Amino acid sequence: MALASHETEIRVRYQETDGQRRVHHANFLTYFEIGRTEMLRSRGATYRQFEEAGLFLVVSEASCRYRAAAEYDDLLLVRTYVEKVGGASIEHGYEVIRDKTIIASGKTIVVCVDREGRVRRLPDWLLE
């Protein structure tokens, strides 16, 4: 069961496609990142606040399962879920949806680190 969720709409831009006008597979990780940052923003915080506090959320693991292609100008819905929160990490799940059909799903784990790359606890203001 998800601890929190958020939805973000993305329109596929031409530069995100390959020679067949389909979204290049690597762009789904970008869509996941957009989902994470917009989820954070919807909760009243920004990634900039992390940086100003000397903290960074780095991806330590990522996976994506492709079920169908997305094409130029498709309107996609990215559902982002917080699946698990640890002392220094957050696991997110994702669904990329076109016309009520899940075309990709995935997972990332982000870890909180300081400017030197040392693992740090997630700030209290994020966990509230």
**pLDDT recorded at residue 124:** 87
Structure tokens at 103: 């075309």
Whole-number pLDDT of residue 3: 85
The predicted structure's pLDDT at residue 19 = 86
- Looking at CATH, the fold of the domain delimited by 4-127 is given as Thiol Ester Dehydrase; Chain A (3.10.129)
Judged against a pLDDT cut of 90, whether residue 25 lies above it is answered with: yes
pLDDT of 125: 81
pLDDT of residue 105: 98
Q: Which helix (H) or strand (E) holds 126?
A: helix 124-127
3-class secondary structure, 13: coil
**pLDDT per position as a tens digit, 37-73:** 999 999 888 899 889 999 999 999 999 999 999 999 9
Judged against a pLDDT cut of 90, whether residue 121 lies above it is answered with yes
User: pTM higher than 0.85, yes or no?
Assistant: yes
Q: Which residues contact 122 (CB under 8 A, 6 or more apart)?
A: 85, 87, 88, 89, 90, 112
Q: Where are the domains of the chain?
A: 4-127
Question: What does the pLDDT average to over 17-46?
Answer: 94
Taking the C-alpha atoms of residue 73 and residue 12, their distance in angstroms, rounded to an integer, is 5
CA distance 68 to 97: 10
Percent above pLDDT 90 for the chain: 84
Whole-number pLDDT of residue 28: 98
